[in-house]
């Protein structure tokens, strides 16, 4: 009878990924960590939840006006609300480039706000 070499503890541990925070909505976080989550909350509280990239409501992440890769800081002045998808699409693109590719056509939005 050969002894099985597969019962070592090390092997078992590798097959289980480390357990991270599993509380709450389980949303994808861009930078990870409690600090970034706090910054997102502060950004949405200060600037609202209108995505600054597409102009629609429902933003759930914070986007850097100046990308971190270009020296942008994690401050409220450099953060604006954005959809996760818009945030991801923009990546490290400059804002000028983004709006060149995704112009905000606010004129097309028909708002029947004067019903009375």
Residues that bind Zn ion (CB under 5 A): 51, 53-54, 83, 86
DSSP 50: B
Closest distance to Zn ion from the beta carbon of 58 (Å): 8
* Beta bridge pairs of residue 81: 62
Closest distance of CB 105 from Zn ion, Å: 14
Cα(103)–Cα(105) distance, rounded to whole angstroms? 6
Of all residues in the shown chain, the one whose CB is closest to Zn ion is: 51
- C-alpha 102/C-alpha 52 separation (Å) is 11
Nearer residue to Zn ion within complex by CB, 44 or 53? 53
Of residues 53, 57, 48, the one with CA closest to residue 91: 53
| 37 or 102: CB nearest Zn ion | 102
Q: Which is nearer to Zn ion, 32 or 55 (CB)?
A: 55
Minimal distance in Å, beta carbon 25 to Zn ion?
18
Q: Measured from the CB atom, is 35 or 56 closer to Zn ion?
A: 56
Shortest Å distance, C-beta 56 to Zn ion: 5
The contacts of residue 92 (CB under 8 Å, 6+ apart) are: 67, 69, 70
């Amino acid at each position: 009878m050969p002894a099985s070499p597969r019962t070592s503890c090390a092997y078992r541990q590798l097959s289980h990924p480390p357990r991270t925070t599993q509380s709450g909505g389980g949303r994808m976080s861009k930078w990870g960590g409690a600090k970034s989550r706090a910054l997102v909350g502060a950004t949405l509280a200060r600037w609202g939840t209108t995505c600054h990239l597409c102009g629609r409501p429902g933003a759930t992440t914070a986007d850097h006006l100046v990308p971190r890769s270009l020296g942008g800081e994690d401050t409220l002045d450099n953060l604006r609300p954005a959809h996760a998808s818009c945030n991801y699409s923009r990546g490290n693109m400059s804002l000028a480039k983004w709006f060149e590719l995704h112009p905000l056509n606010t004129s097309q939005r028909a708002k029947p706000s004067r019903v009375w």
